[in-house]
Structure 1
Amino acid sequence: MEGTATALELRVRTVLLPVLGPAADGSAIGPDTDLWGAGLDSLGAVSLMAGLEDEFGIEFPDALLTRETFSTVNRILDAVGSLEAS
């Protein structure tokens, strides 16, 4: 999987995997894996958001502070990509 991952996805995973904790199997987290089912909780989502903001130099607007935004790697990529483009 990592062979086909984009540089953006690898950066997101660098922030995401520590938030999910040591029990999370990074190779089992696919682009559309339900992150909430994989162990993400509300406190983890806040840590994830802050880590992504630091990593990418962006700020999530209130409209993107939803469970859905942080539900899969692909949704996170969409949000980060749109914020980097603006």
Structure 2
Amino acid sequence: MKTTLRRILARTGCLDVSVETLGDGDDLYEAGLSSMGAVRLMLEVEEVFGVQIPAQAISRELFQSIGALADELGRLLPKTSREQAAVHGR
């Protein structure tokens, strides 16, 4: 799942630094994520993972790090989808 999130971040160009330089807990806002970038990121995450992030979950903290996004996706995705993502390196 985190690998897929990194690909999304790289593809959407939301950051000022290379995503390969970031750890799972590094601050994405410090890496250049803007509010518009967070919206693009959210839309792409919803598309790729086939989920809708609930309005009450949308916050600055959600987009703070790759780990925070992965944690929320872990809550949103059914168990079988999480297992498939792990097997396929998502």
Q: How does the TM-score come out when normalised to structure 1?
A: 0.83
- Unpaired runs of 5+ in structure 1? 1-7
The CA distance in 1 between the partners of 2:55 and 2:34, in whole Å, is: 18
Measured on the aligned residues, the alpha-carbon RMSD in Å equals 1.7
The CA distance in 2 between the partners of 1:58 and 1:30, in whole Å, is: 24
The CA distance in 1 between the partners of 2:33 and 2:57, in whole Å, is: 17
Q: How does the TM-score come out when normalised to structure 2?
A: 0.79
Residue number in structure 2 paired with 1:24:
17
Residue 41, structure 1, aligned to residue 34, structure 2: yes
Pair 48,24 (structure 1): closer, same or farther in 2 beyond 3 Å: same
Say whether the 8 Å CA contact 2:38–2:63 is kept in structure 1. yes
* Alignment: residue pair count: 79
Shift of 1:50: 0.1
Say whether the 8 Å CA contact 1:19–1:40 is kept in structure 2. no
Larger RCO (CA under 8 A, 6+ residues apart): 2
- Unpaired runs of 5+ in structure 2? 80-90
Shift of 1:23: 4.4
Say whether the 8 Å CA contact 2:51–2:76 is kept in structure 1. yes
Residue number in structure 2 paired with 1:73:
66
Residue number in structure 1 paired with 2:6:
13
Identical pairs, percent: 30
